[in-house]
Structure 1
Amino acid sequence: MCPGKRMEQPSPDVLHYKDKELVSSLLLQLNHLRKERILTDVVLCCGDTELACHRNVLVSSSPYFHAMFCSSFQESVQPRVVLRGMPPEVLSTVVDYVYTGAANITADLALPLMQAASMLQYGRLFEACSAFLQTQLGAENCLDMLRLAEALHCGSLRERAREVTARCFPAVAASDDFPEISLAELTDVLGDDRLCAGEEQVFETVLAWVRHNAPARSGALHGLFSKLRLRHVHPTYLVQFMAGEPLVRASPLCLELIEAAQRLLFSIGAAPCPSVIDDMWDSPRREACHEALVLVGGRKNGQQTSREALLFDEVTQQWQSLAKLPVRLYRASYACVQGVLYVLGGLVVSTGSRVGTPSDAVYTLSLKTNQWRAAEPMLAPHYAHQSVSHMHFLFTLGGLAVDGQLSGTVERYNTMFNQWETMAPMPSPVLHPAVAAHDQRIYVIGGEDAEQNPVRMIQVYHMARNLWCKIETRMVKNVCAPAAVIDDKIYIVGGYTRRTIAYDTKANRFVKCESMKDRRMHHSATAINNKLYVTGGRYINNHDVIKDSDGFDCYDPESDAWSSKGKLPYRLFDHGSVPLIGVSAGKSFTS
């Protein structure tokens, strides 16, 4: 090889050439030939419309035409082929699509064009019509579209129509067409987990449908009734309306479901679920029942006790203001039952005053009305106490009495019958423990005694037996640390420390979790959708100075990791946070 010269690359044996312009222009040329009737060999007819075409183009574009022209059918040799039942404008659109790959789909044309595309086996045109019809869906036509999708075996349109039907259920149920839907259609709609309606409204809709033709439809009531999620029906409605409805009382199977639900709702020590209600009782909530985080009360921006109530919607990732508390309450307790927020006791604080008066008052807030109401007061005033809920019961535990002395009192409130009663007191009264309810038991973990010494103990209250037991453990040393339950574990977060631990109630042991970023106390923790949300509180910075927090953090047990959810609208501590269930009906919560 000569110096300074590069080796030449060997010449290829084959050049793979592809003329892209030929492929793109071929259909245009064929369409020009069609319009000029050059080399056309068949005429497609419908009504007065006649369109000359090339058999080979039609055969290449559709299995339908392939079978027609490449078999022993008589159309294979006929110069004219009549396509019956097809509007002329639809045939013109189909032929234009075959020769150009383009079609103008309008509201008037979409349905017959989709039917033609289905018959002639133009799959992509069929899906294009489906996509267009999906954009036109609303409460007024979703049932018709659902039937169309079933008739044409169009999965994409059927799924979208079902979604709109579920999302717009109140409007759909109020439409003139709804009473005429079939039993199969109604059963399918009621079984959709995305249904945006409360169970009470679903029940009323079922009754209206049955009453529309009671002689023929009464026998279907049980099957429809079994689609209700009775777990999410308020006990008052269940007893006073559902159980008293004549159509329900005339059905032994419906009564069996009602009685099983009543036993589960009204008895703390209920027997295992009968098979008749198993699936319904354990079924997941409907998509409409969003579990939202609600913050209420507390000390705002380190100044005064707040009357604010805030709701965080995970869908929009936004905070929304709810109705303000009627009075300023400091160191109250908070719980929720059947989608209703309860604020119990606390110190009533007058504007400009730092001294409060112990209260026995109970206030409730429902997302349905966004209005505060007064409920039956507690048996005695309490503040710095704890409250938890189970079924339709509320329990308040401990705290400080009117004389400022540490109390071990336990009171139970029956929200169904609006009654308070005294239960067995705590063996060892404690202040600022971590409290959680799980599996018919209340766990009071740690806290401090009257001399402000940490209590290394778990106190367990058995609801059905009204009995307490104590478990001594060196793993417990928490004060002003909230608790929340996920699965069978009680998560205890912070309390003058960064530590997060989980108490496994089944194994009776503690599991260490990833620690928080800051030492936190007087904060709040709530479990929503199997994640732990920690809000506000006070923290100790690197200079050992206590600061108020506007932090909003999330702990995921699956990954054992913390993440920030941003900031609260203001700094907040000694507040309440609860997971409150509301029916969104396809819209955001009321702000």
Structure 2
Amino acid sequence: MEKPSGDSTHVADILEGLCRLWKEHRHTDVTLGDGKTSSQAHRILVDAFMPQVGMTCRTKSVIKLSELPKPIDVILAWLYTLPEMTSDILKLDMKPVASALKINFILNYKPKVVKGKITTYIQLRKSWMAEFSTKLRQCYKDGTFSDVILKVEGQTFRCHKAILASVSPFFDTMFLSGMRETDADEIDLHGIKKSDFVKILNAIYLGEECVTVTNVESLISMCSYFQLSRLQRQCERFLTSNVDPDNILGVLRLAELNSIDSLRKKALSYIVHNFHEVVRSKEYSTLSRDQLLDFIKNDNLDVVDETEVFEAVLKWFSSNNRPDEDLEILFQGLSLPDVRQSAIKTAITNEKLPRDSCNLLKTLVDKVNTGTVRIRNEQVLLVVRASGQEGGVHVTCFSFKTKQWFKLASISNYDPGSAFAACSLGQFIYLTGGSGNPCVFFEYSIAANKWTSLPKFREARSEHVAVAISDFVYILGGRNQVHSVISGIERYNLGTRSWRHFGVLALPVSDASAAVVGSNILVCGGSLSFGEYTDAVQCFDTEKQTCSVIANLPMQCSFTDIALHEHILYIVSPRGHVMEYEYDRDPVLLGKAHASSFMDFSCVCFRGMLYIIGGTSNKTESAEMKAFELRNKKQDARKNVNLPWKRLSNQYYSIIGGISRKYLSEEIKAV
């Protein structure tokens, strides 16, 4: 089941969990029969959607129903999952069932139908969740259907095993364990504050935002222990939105203490992008050697030059009585050829540095001359560019440090035409399709600065989207060679070097944009047909191979592009509207990056800025990279960058990546 947006996220998590429990016959407490078949269910869900049956559930655990238009197990499957449906299924199958069982959210639903497809499915899901949310709140307040009592610091809480198990593998396992205490009238939970447990229950049942500065550390520890993923994400969001150079190392330790890898990665990202300020914090000297090594080895480390990293290592080493081997190991993370020689000489002659350390420095300086030390990759803007008026595919990069453009490898004697799609995975960029060669597939290695041709995909397409997850490349939607919109999804296995059909979009679209969040592919907006656009956010679950609409953008749009930054999507429309979308929240409009109307541009996020590269229209073409400041939600023309090539109806794909400085030799001069 896909997650919707907004305040109903807690309900979506519970319904998804209840569906899983129902399929596995866990924590069910009522049996419904229709004379031919029977199926177990959860009382709280039955009462929420079938109130007349629910009244009987309060006194009976086995209920015989009169003859129904559909088998009871089919009806329950609808209520637990609410699958997408055609207008015919809604009218001929679900409405008669809803009438017989008084399922109000279906009876009251008036769909909007386009070509037999319901396009307002998200509204039906919201009604479905609202109905369950009302019942959930009531049962939490008055204890209806409660079947377990939890005791914390002497206070008892009437709860529902199925609800707790639906969102917490910890409680699911505990209730199924068969241990003596789980069969007792009350279950004691030790080592937990009563006030924190109340907030956790309010978050589970009511969806309350309960995280504050004073409780975030204890809450995130409890979430990790009880395996409450949604509330843990709330805590992570709170921590990462309130970090500064003085507290970020505390956030890192909290993540490591509770083994929260996602929070650790976010903390590491903040540190490497704010290294200069973190080094000046009071807690810098408390870092372990391995923690500091993680930071300085990262190619994303944002420093003026390598001398700053060198001096930061010496500062840490001198702050405590540390063994010389720590210094030797840390220097392996430096790009010593980029350290100013004067700084090294000063360190060697510094009397505060132990003699053995000075000798080590001298040895490392000698290694620089032999080329046996590490050289840091530089973080640059990598741009893949093609034009209908110029042959080939060209890769260039922009150095934010030197403000220079450099030429990289190209594919010569090849024309992708218009509307190709590209994506990246690690140190590789993948180029797919286009009107000129609609089945072509190329791989660009950033490390080797080299293009390689890969096996062509099956269905010719352009105006599609491409993304990569793990060991797979996906292409979705687009148009075929007769300009019909495609719903099909193909997947390429990088290991077996083969393509296969892998699913279909809920809404066939072209000219959309896409991004990856976890194992899900989010497809935003797009064209349903010529002149007909959509605001739908479609979610394709690569594990279940299912697709549904989970949200709506603030506007209908196509020819958009997405910059993904720490699981937040920044979607830019042709007219410069910048929309922010986080997977479990409603999309919002942030502002405008420009006042023009452009297509075929590309977007990236870097150091708090959203950069929009190029763009064409019927009358003109952008010759610059425009900057939009995300924190202040406004344009920053001071950070705009001119593009050094001719205006030739260029189409772009761009990412931020690390590249060896040996490739930054052929500078491109502005035309």
Q: TM-score normalized by structure 2?
A: 0.43
Higher Cα radius of gyration: 1
